Chain A
Amino acid sequence: MFKSVFFLFLALFTFGCLDEDLEINEIEQPQYKIVKATLLEKTIVSNWISSSISSRINGSFNLEELQKIVDLEKGYQILTVLDSNNSNQAISFSLDEKGQVAFSFLSKTIKSENGDITNEIYSTNGTLKISYVDRIDGSRNIIYSENPTVNGRPTGWWSDMDGCLGRFHNLTPSNLANIGISIVFNSATLGLYTPLSIVVCVGYATTLLET
């Protein structure tokens, strides 16, 4: 009797806690708006470029094409212009409250045949700051980061391995349920679920590194 109740509890516990795919019935409103930059913004950026950036970079961006991207949800704004010689590259600026350029960066975007998009972010003196891939399945992998951590989390191979392990050990949004599922899976496999998931994730992260 106890064992039957145990199995019933186990089934409810495992399947009751799983994430359900949510159907999105609402038509999503666009989150970003792209408008032409004002004359004042063009002048500020033009002055900053001529005083701060090498003539090689300076000459390849036509500031008449400067666009402003507005995050409608959070209110952030960024000014950006495409490289006239290479439309995969752009230079972007953010202005501070005083209307001066607060920071700038160069970006390079490459779309692969399978639909993955690789983004590389450089400082204006050409130093690679971060590189990441937005995959067609919606996931994002950080390939390189100048800093060993992004948002407090490690990047690169370790990040991929860590994220993979998280998928095996965070099957539900509930931490308690996840601990329970791990205990059950480990017990049922005589303790091999966790070690084997580590081995699989090492292989997975290494594969990502090579692609």
Chain B
Amino acid sequence: MSVLIVAEHRRGKVRPITLEMVSAAKELGDETAVAVIAKDPAAIADQVDVEGVNEILYVKVDAEGFENDVYREALEQVISDRSPHVVLVGFSIDSMGFAPALAAKLGLGFASDVFALRRDGDDLVAERSFYGSKVNAELDFPNTERVLLMIRPTAWPPAEGDGAAVSAEVDVTISASRARHVDFQEVAASEDVDITGADFLLSVGRGVGEKENVGQFEELADKMGATLSVSRPLVDQGWMPSSRQVGQSGKTVKPKVYLALGISGAVQHLAGMKTSGTIIAINTDPEAAIFNVAHYGAVADLFEVAEELEKLY
């Protein structure tokens, strides 16, 4: 089974998902190629030259950064040129811009948020969850010759080591880029904290109830020597800036200690913190998904525990 991985990069740096996909590809095939679509692929290629990569494809395009149509058209041509059995892209915001469109247009097999893969003879079996992550399912793709999978970040460890990949250039012509990058904006104000640098995060979720209660936890975090972070719902409500958000569409963090209060553990949140050193979770729901990734947990009321913690610090 030949695998084509689409490297994900931003502002000159390759994103971790790319190397995680190399590990995923090892489960399947013998032939793994990584396509680097960029204005200057050479500048990025080194970062993907790891053990497990046989070939690096330099796909030169005009666009400065990521643009949907550019990636889609380029890939159409790369796929046509290289005929991989499986195409892997990250389950990420960039990929949402081109991967489903590509799969639909080319009639590929498709599944997203895949966290496990295996071969069953000649068949490819991918595992993902359904019904709000409450159940898992194994999928196969009997109707198509080629399959495109969007891979869940942090499901595989990033591949390491020195690779000895051959490089090849693939020429592509882009007819139009109808959604063009204009500018980046850092939404986070520079005065705010960078939670990715913190060693100890105290994180709160919907369990906090009201905006007024957030301050209490900010104070507690301060007392304990932790930085306050939050799950997505609090950012959606406008209670905290997105710079504090841990999760798939927020920041990925890996502190020594991650103390989660009132967080249920939606998959998107877990993706952002489950590799933390020690995870301690407090939730009133004994079935909360967070307990599956936590090292220590307690079924308790976060306010009661917070009150007790305040006394101790």
Q: Do A and B come from one complex?
A: no
